[in-house]
Chain A
C-alpha cells in the first residue's frame, strides 16, 4: 500500500470557522466500529451535519451548496483529542486533499500526513483573510503547491509559505509511506535489538 501522490491543486475551499475542532466532532466514536477502511466520509462531522432525526442541518458549511472544493479550512487547534486515524480517513474520504488551519494537534497532523491529506499551517492573519474572502465569494480559488510550499488565494494574490518536514514532503510528493521505509531497514532494526539485548 502507498498513499496517493500529492499534486498541486487549485480549488475552492469549505470554511469551518470554529476553533478546537476535535476528533470526536470530525468523526463521533459510535462510527468507529468498522473493521475496514471504508465509508468514513459519510459520517464526517456527523453530529454537526445532521440532527437527531438525520435531517441535514442547513447552516452547517458542509451542507451549504455554496461551499465546495478540495480544501477544508478550520479554526485554531484543529484535530485535537483522540488519536483515531478515522478522523483523517473521514476527511480524505469525503474528498478533501488539504486541511488549512492556524494550528494543528500533533497526532492529527501525523495521521493526515500518513494518509495523503496535507495539513497546511498558516498564520492566524492568513486564515482570517481566507475566511473573509470565502465569505465574499464562496468560489474563490486557493492554490496549494507542495513542491514550493506555497498556499495562495488566487483572487487577491495573498500567499504564504508553509512548513513541512523535508522527509514527509518527499513522501507526499512521491506517494511513499513510512512503512515501506521501515520494512527496508529491517536489518538495522535487528542490529539495534542485538545491541540492546547484550
Chain B
C-alpha cells in the first residue's frame, strides 16, 4: 500500500517503536527560543548532562524583545533576564544563537525557512506550537512542551504517538483580494478550533500549490489553530526555487543528492488518509474572526452566527459583537501586521502596496512588525518603510510583538485590534484586549478606513 507524505517522513525517523506506546522519533532540527527553554536547560544541568547534538539546534530570542530601540538594553527586568538566560544557556551548551541585533535574528519560524535551515523531509520541533509553519516545505514539524525540549537537547529524540492523517483538498483559484490567510481562516471556521485534534494535515489542491512559499507558510502555521499538531504541503518546484542559494541550504553535489530525495516526497496515489475534506476556493471571501478562538471566523460580509450556547455568548460579549449582525463599519483602534503567520516580506509588500498614496485613519494605531532582521532589511531595501511613512505608519523592529502580550507591544484593555497574527483568545494581545484576525490586505484596508471594511472595495 502506498504511503502518504507524512508517513514517508515520519517513518524514516522512527528509532524505535515501543509496544503499546509511542514512537521514539529522531529530530533533525530543533529550534529554541527564550520562553520555553530555560527550564529544559535547568533539567539538563540537574542531571549533569550536556546537549547531545548541539549542531542540530539553533536559538533566537523573539517573544520578549521590544520592537523599537533594540540597540538599547531591554527595559523590563524579567524579559531581559530571560533573554540573557538564553545567551548563557546556548553559550554553555555550544548552541548557535542569533541574538538581539544579529543580522539573522527574528521570530523563530520566520528565520528557519529564510535561512534554509528548514528543508523538505526533515523532522523539526520547537517549544512553540506554531512550529507547524515549517510543514510548508514538506517537513514534519510540530510544537512540543518544555519536557520534550529537554528530551531533544539530551537525546535528539522525543517520544510521540503517531498522529492520524487528514487530507484537506482545496481546488480552484482564490478570488481577487482573497489570500492564503483567508484560505486557512476559512478552513478553521469550517472544521472548528478542535476539528483537527489528533491529526496531522496534508494540504493539497491547486489553491495551495499555486501559493508562494510565504503563502504556504501562513497556511501551515495556523494548522494548530484547528487543533492539528501540524500541517504539510508536498515540496515542488516552488519549494526548491525558494531554497536554492539560501544560507544553510545544501550546495553543489549535496544539493543534487537532496533534490533527488525531495522529489520522492509526495503522497502516493494509493495512500489512504483517516479523513479527507474537500473545499472549493471559489466559495472563499476575505475572512475575519468575530469571537475568541480562531474557529470563530466568517466571510467579512457575513453576519455573526446566532448560537444558543453559554460559551459562545460569553465570547460575543467579550468581543462586544452582536449575533445576527454584520461587523462591517465597526471602528478599530489598532492594526497589527506581523508574527510568524504574516510577518514575512510578501505580507509587508502586500500591506504597503495597498496603503500606498493613502493615509492611515486618525483613530487607528498601526504596528508593522517585520518577522526578522532579514525581512526588515529587505523591506528597507525595497523602500517599503518610506511608503509606509508617507501613509503615517512606522516600520518597527523584528519580534513577536503584539502577537502575544509578553513584550511592550500590548493592546490596551477594551481596545479592538485587527491583527494578522494567529490567535484571538481573550487577552492574547494584552489583558482585556479584543482581537479580530484577518489578512494583511484586510488589515491595510482597515488601517486606511479606521473601521472594518471589505478589502475588495479598496483594491
Q: Flag if A167 contacts B20 (CB, 8 Å).
A: yes
Residues from chain B with Cβ under 8 Å of A189 in the complex: 15, 24, 26, 155-157
Near B by CB (< 8 A), chain A positions 23-59 give 24-25, 28-30, 32-37, 47, 52
A168 CB, min distance to chain B CBs, angstroms: 7
**Contacts A36-B39, A83-B143, A189-B26 given: A178-B432 contact, CB under 8 Å?**
no
A44 CB, min distance to chain B CBs, angstroms: 14
B193 within 8 A of A: yes
Candidate in B159, B161, B229 with the most chain A CB atoms within 10 angstroms: B159
Count, A-B residue pairs, CB within 8 A: 186
Near A by CB (< 8 A), chain B positions 129-149 give 129, 131, 143-148
Residues from chain B with Cβ under 8 Å of A110 in the complex: 144-145, 148, 160
A20 within 8 A of B: yes
Question: Which candidate, B90-98, B297-305, B422-430, is the interface stretch facing chain A?
Answer: B422-430
B128 within 8 A of A: yes
A160 within 8 A of B: no
B401 CB, min distance to chain A CBs, angstroms: 12
Q: Flag if B64 contacts A24 (CB, 8 Å).
A: no
Question: Which candidate, B74-82, B201-209, B252-260, B390-398, is the interface stretch facing chain A?
Answer: B74-82
Residues from chain B with Cβ under 8 Å of A20 in the complex: 193-194, 292-293, 311
**Contacts A35-B39, A47-B426, A182-B157 given: A29-B15 contact, CB under 8 Å?**
no
Residues from chain B with Cβ under 8 Å of A104 in the complex: 197
Q: Given B16, B154, B227, which contacts A188 in the complex, CB threshold below 8 Å?
A: B16
- The residue of chain A having its C-beta at the shortest distance from the C-beta of B152 within the complex is A182
Question: Which candidate, A61-69, A74-82, A141-149, A151-159, is the interface stretch facing chain B?
Answer: A74-82
B123 CB, min distance to chain A CBs, angstroms: 11
A170 CB, min distance to chain B CBs, angstroms: 8
Question: Which candidate, B2-10, B41-49, B235-243, B341-349, is the interface stretch facing chain A?
Answer: B41-49
Q: Give the CA-CA distance A35 to B26 in the complex, in Å.
A: 27
Near B by CB (< 8 A), chain A positions 149-198 give 165-168, 177-179, 181-183, 185-186, 188-189, 192-193, 196
Interface size classification for chain B:
35 or more
Residues from chain B with Cβ under 8 Å of A193 in the complex: 26, 156
**Contacts A25-B425, A165-B20, A185-B16 given: A80-B194 contact, CB under 8 Å?**
yes
A18 CB, min distance to chain B CBs, angstroms: 6
Near A by CB (< 8 A), chain B positions 354-408 give 404-406
Residues from chain A with Cβ under 8 Å of B283 in the complex: none
- The residue of chain A having its C-beta at the shortest distance from the C-beta of B38 within the complex is A35
Residues from chain B with Cβ under 8 Å of A37 in the complex: 39, 42
Q: Flag if B151 contacts A28 (CB, 8 Å).
A: no
Q: Flag if B15 contacts A77 (CB, 8 Å).
A: no
Q: Flag if A165 contacts B82 (CB, 8 Å).
A: no
B190 within 8 A of A: no
Residues from chain A with Cβ under 8 Å of B314 in the complex: 18
Q: Flag if A188 contacts B143 (CB, 8 Å).
A: no
Q: Flag if A167 contacts B43 (CB, 8 Å).
A: no
A6 within 8 A of B: no
Q: Given B24, B82, B145, which contacts A33 in the complex, CB threshold below 8 Å?
A: B82
Give the B-binding residues of A (Cβ under 8 A).
1, 17-20, 22, 24-25, 28-30, 32-37, 47, 52, 75-77, 80-86, 88, 103-107, 110-111, 114-115, 165-168, 177-179, 181-183, 185-186, 188-189, 192-193, 196
